[in-house]
Structure 1
Amino acid sequence: MTHVVVDPVTRIEGHLRVEAEVDGGMVKEAWSSSTMFRGIEIILRGRDPRDAWAFTQRICGVCTTVHAIASIRAVEKAIGATPPPNARILRNLIMAAQNVQDHVIHFYHLHALDWVDIVSALDADPAKTATLAQSISDWPLSSAKYFAGVRDKLKAFVARGQLGPFANAYWGHPSYRLPPEANLMATAHYLEALDWQRRFIKIHAILGGKNPHLQSFLVGGMATPVDPDSQNALNMDTIAALEKLVADGKDFVSRVYIPDVLAVASFYKDWASIGAGVGNYMAYGDYPMSDGENAELYLPTGIIHARDLTKIAPVEHARISEYISHSWYDYSVGPDKGLNPFKGETNPHFTGPKPPYERLEVEQKYSWLKSPRYDDAPMEVGPLARMLVAYASGRPSRVKELVDMALSKLGVGPAALFSTLGRVAARAIEAQVLVESMDKWVQDLADNMARRDYRIQDNEKWDPSTWPRECFGAGFHEAPRGALGHWVHIADGKIVNYQAVVPSTWNAGPRDAKGQPGPYEAALAGTPVAKPDQPLEILRTIHSFDPCMACGVHVVDATKRELARVTIG
């Protein structure tokens, strides 16, 4: 039995430590530990609820807008505010743009290096690379001359004694399978994606003032005026700019991202049976298509138990609870009882070993993440959960079309969806579905302008004197990494309690009071490991979830007390 420690896990947001017991070339057990604490929920106590979105947006520098929208929705639910149609459309466009950009960045810049051997690309024949690229897509940047230029650029990195952005990976690892030409093609698209994502996210600059941390959100609506006759508002020039950016997004996703995912996956089909995890999936649903509390959601809500796609159960938020049996927190009700977020507590109490340490104390508390459960069962959230719920629900129909296309091209059945590879494919499919939907939302905004409907804010609920003396609200959003919920308790116009249960808490949380592992820990069981001293395969499954520990633990200790020290040995 070999004990493997990966600390820190790189190419993620935040600080994550993973430990695993490897026996006979396979992971037997694994433990996931977030080694950072932040405390945004504590900071919010006593503050004006209308300001909460600006604070929660700083939970993360990557997820940014997702906490703003969940916070806004929670407060709106509590005080009874209803955003006008234009605000709903702008929010849909902002959140869809966030998801599409995030998925592309995740595949190329965070996850692809687990599958693509950059150093191998130095041996590629540019002419053969061009032939390969042209066989899977009509993307214009596919000539032999172009790929020769990329190879020369990569050689220049090496000649300087460094690999630049490709510096940290297990190059030459036996688990890499792509031929040199596929590696060169992927390297070229890695570099192209860097430029593409910069262009695409201009949507946020147009609609929110900047990225990250948009400035245009408001409880009850948005702060961006809509008026086709004003140069100081969103107008028809804005519509034209948005249409161009969305078209650029669709072009890259459909002609580069989707073909690359299918091409890479074709060499790693065995990973369609690795990394399944807990087998339970939850999606809150998102992107309201009309106004009002019961509006139909473009991405549907639902729960899948035990990988059964024939049954979709409704999500009942009262069934959600968080445990701290193995988390560095205290509860007033004791360590083994779960609390619904409306009654949630954030009482940090670090009892772990002082760094540096060789092993986690896994029989005790070992993570700053809590353990969320639905009806006391662990749930995987994220693009895979969303696409599974949509696929099983039959809407939007585009999801089923794209999933069936991917399964057919790879020659695998629906069971392949429940895997590490399934998570990779689900992100690409969702990016395609969302970027296509953005066309309609831009047109909806233009149509409202044409009808002279400029409403952007519910002013009736802005004044706290109109609120109930005490109220509760929960706001939900399907963030790039999964189901995100914010819960707020307001009294006399101030926040009494605030809790955020985020995707990476659902997925990366430690074992609960019953000893049930979370999705990360469960997904690693059975993962093959060719070289325990270079655990590339562990990274593949962990990265397939797209970890965000900054979100998961929600601040610097005021006394500047050292809580953890990360060492690389």
Structure 2
Amino acid sequence: MSERLVVDPITRIEGHLRIEARMAADRIAQAYSSGTSVRGIETILKGRDPRDAWAFAQRICGVCTLVHGIASVRAVEDALRIELPTNAQLIRNLMIGAQYVHDHIMHFYHLHALDWVDVVSALSADPKATSELAQSISGWPKSSPGYFADTQKRIKTFVESGQLGIFANGYWGHPAYKLPPEANLMAVAHYLEALAWQRDAARLHAIFGGKNPHPNFVVGGVPCAIDLDSDSAINAAKLAQVQGIIESMLTFVDQVYVPDTLAIAGFYKDWGTRGEGLGNFLCYGDLPAGGLMDPSGFLFPRGVILNRDLSTLHPVDLHDQSQIQEFIAHSWYDYDSGNDQGLHPYDGETNLEYDGRGGVKPPYRQLDIDQGYSWMKAPRWNGKAVEVGPLARVLMLYASGHAQTTELVEMTLGKLDLPVEALFSTLGRTAARTLETKILVDAMQGWYDALVANIKSGDTSTFNPRLWEPSSWPRQARGAGFMEAPRGALGHWIVIQDGRIANYQAVVPSTWNAGPRDTHEQPGAYEAALQDNHQLADIKQPIEILRTIHSFDPCIACAVHLTDPESGGELQIKIS
């Protein structure tokens, strides 16, 4: 009889995720992913003014705030056919790019690095040898022996006090850790530096959006005016601040993030054969050079890759109700029309499954994998399970012949002495996040230069008022707002009736990746990845599960959605 291994909660993520694995000796035979937290934003939006939707949609998550705001205003703009001024599109691109750079660096160092870096091992490192290692891979100025000796003292103080704080409860000393002490010390030093660096990176959102997190947006453009001579608008001084932030991001990416990724990956090349699973990848595309109506001008291409075939990108249509559907055969929901079929988000429902005792499901002790076992739905593209996220985007760029991506991928594979097949793995997923950060921070300079040139030409428009008044809207309208969030393909679908929201559904990256099995028992991306060549060194400390799950950068708060229609939208869960 197989043993069931439960990891609940998965930590260092946003939200609550439970993983159950059925073991065959020390290998994972089957895995099950369950979102165990709940939210109700979509139903809260019903009946409201579509122009206000973004302010509510941003609260879906405390991490992915900007991306939900962008997807929401794009959904309304798509429904009402509103085009953006050039400046507004460039400013949105800059804000999206800043979100990526900030998010990916924070994920690598603070959410994922400790799966590969043994903090306690850094205590035995030689600071001089650590300095030599750091200087051999980068020109980052903070790399002297004295600097690393000071960092080592800080770690020692944590350990000796018995208050490890952010480093508590790690699997320190686990046999799966492979870095030498000096590499561990270097990585921990950069972990601490990144904590301080992120403060400056977040300022770009505040300049253009008024605050961070939850920056402001507006349907039809951006809320900031441009006037080079005004203190209350985007002026020359604020543009200079943006340029400084971009330069700071570029320096950290080039001299810290990219070299660290390559250095750490070199000790874990065996992870280039683990953790793929599906072999199918989806990207909505994003970061337009012009308008959103022309995907050919997107930096990230739109398409689907099936069965690792990089020679063909299948087209994606967010309005085609046969392409994107959500299934609930293994979710804690009920569809009015039956639970064996999928629904397109335009027709999406979030009806609870009741337990027959006056409460809603769960409670549970172990997941009932033959029935519903997650608050997440199971999205599918043309009936197929797909993976979304940095790996999907880099594969799309690589498959489409994007020159910089091709150069970066071949450089990475060459330095690590790995075949192209290693891209389809846990290691490949982590490396892809780093490479796309480099691509984006370089693109940000181009968007900034274009914005400055456009302003100098005399164009200061940041808002399109067309169709702003509801009296000019069609009586019925519906739209799909999409974007490539750092974690992957994000879609918001809106149905407008008589100037109000009649239905609103969000299908987020972690729903695509972390969702349960569907009607045809196809596993989601997390489940399939864990079932792909995972052998555990210590079943009581399953760090291998954390490595693969964290490589997706889960955000479960975004992925689950729930409301109780019989209590006016207020959810009450009864635990027996």
What TM-score results when the alignment is normalised by the length of structure 2?
0.96
Matched residue type, 2:332: W
Structure 2 partner of 1:62? 63
Q: What SS class does the counterpart of residue 341 from structure 2 fall into? A: coil
Task: Indicate which of 322, 325, 330 corresponds to 2:329.
Answer: 325
**Aligned position for 1:127:** 128
Q: Which residue of structure 2 aligns with residue 285 of structure 1?
A: 285
- Following superposition, the deviation at residue 353 of structure 1 comes to 6.4
Structure 1 residues 156-195: aligned runs within 5 Å: 156-195=157-196
Contact 1:22 1:529 in 2 (8 A): no
> Residue 511 of structure 1: which of 502, 505, 517 is its match?
517
Moved over 4 A (4+): 350-355, 555-560
Q: Residues of 1 paired with 2:266 and 2:3: CA distance?
A: 31
Correspondence for 1:485: 491
CA distance in 1, matches of 2:522, 2:120: 40
Q: CA deviation at 1:310?
A: 1.4
Tell me what 1:91 maps to. 92
The CA deviation string for residues 41-76 of structure 1, in whole angstroms up to 9 with x for no partner, is: 111110100000000000000010000000100100
**Does the 8 Å CA contact 2:43/2:563 hold for their aligned counterparts?**
no
Distance 1:2 1:34 in 2: 22
Q: Is the 8 A contact 2:376 2:561 kept in 1?
A: no
Partner residue in 2 for 1:260: 260
Q: CA deviation at 1:169?
A: 1.4
Retained in 2: the 8 A contact 1:85–1:290? yes
* More off after superposition, 372-381 vs 294-303: 294-303
- Judge conservation of contact 1:36–1:564 (CA < 8 Å) in 2: no
Kindly indicate whether the alpha-carbon contact (under 8 Å) linking 1:56 and 1:68 is maintained by their aligned counterparts in 2.
yes
What are the equivalent positions in structure 2 for 1:456-535 lying under 5 Å apart? 456-525=462-531, 526-535=533-542
Check conservation: 1:35, 1:564, Cα contact below 8 A. Answer: no
Which residue of structure 2 lines up, in the alignment, with residue 363 of structure 1?
Answer: 370
Q: Which residue of 1 aligns with 2:275?
A: 275
State the match for 2:243 in structure 1: 243
Distance 2:291 2:401 in 1: 23
Check conservation: 2:46, 2:502, Cα contact below 8 A.
yes
Residue identity (%): 56
* SS state at 2:351 partner: coil
CA contact (8 A) 2:3 2:24 kept: yes
Question: Does the 8 Å contact 1:329/1:349 carry over to 2?
Answer: yes
User: Aligned pair in 2 of structure 1 residues 365, 560: CA closer, same or farther (>3 Å)?
Assistant: closer
Q: 1:401 to 1:17 in 2, by over 3 A?
A: same
SS in structure 2 of the partner of residue 512 of structure 1: coil
- Contact 1:65–1:212 (CA<8 Å) still a contact in 2? yes
Contact 1:17–1:35 (CA under 8 A) maintained in structure 2: yes
- Please tell me whether the aligned partners of residues 135 and 143 of structure 2 are also in contact (alpha carbons under 8 angstroms): yes
- Preserved contact between residue 228 and residue 235 of structure 2 (Cα < 8 Å): yes
CA distance in structure 2 between the partners assigned to 1:554 and 1:21 by the alignment: 27
Amino acid at match of 2:127: P
Residue type matched to 2:290 in 1? S
Match of 2:440 in 1: 434
Q: Give the partner amino acid of 2:92.
A: R
Change (3 A) 1:292 1:425: closer
Task: Return the alpha-carbon distance in structure 2 between the equivalents of residues 495 and 176 of structure 1.
Answer: 51
Residue 200 of structure 1 contacts residue 245 of structure 1 at CA under 8 Å; is this kept in 2? yes
Gaps of 5+ in 1: none
What amino acid sits opposite 1:164 in the alignment? G
Please tell me the residue identity of whatever aligns with 1:13. Answer: E
Counterpart residue identity of residue 275, structure 2: G
Contact 1:46 1:495 in 2 (8 A): yes
Report how far residue 316 of structure 1 moved.
2.3
- Cα deviation code 1:467-503 (max 9, x no counterpart): 1000010011000100000000001000000010000
2:479 is paired with a residue whose SS is strand
Q: Secondary structure at the match of 1:381?
A: coil
CA distance in 1, matches of 2:574, 2:133: 50
Q: CA deviation at 1:560?
A: 6.4
Distance 1:441 1:154, change over 3 A: same
* 1:466 partner amino acid: S
Aligned to 1:207, the other structure's residue is in SS state helix
Does the C-alpha gap of structure 1 residues 86 and 279 become closer, same or farther in structure 2, counting only changes over 3 Å? same
CA distance in 2, matches of 1:370, 1:505: 7
1:179-214, Cα deviation, whole Å (9 max, x unpaired): 111100000000001111111111111111111100
1:561 aligns to 2:572 (yes or no) = yes
Asked whether the 8 Å contact 1:57–1:65 carries over to 2, the reply is yes
Note the C-alpha offset of 1:168. 2.5
Is the aligned partner of 1:337 residue 2:341? yes
Alpha-carbon shift at residue 447 of structure 1 (Å): 1.0
Alignment partner, residue 19 of structure 1? 20
Root-mean-square deviation over aligned CA pairs: 1.4
Paired positions, count: 562
> Contact 1:353–1:361 (CA<8 Å) still a contact in 2?
no
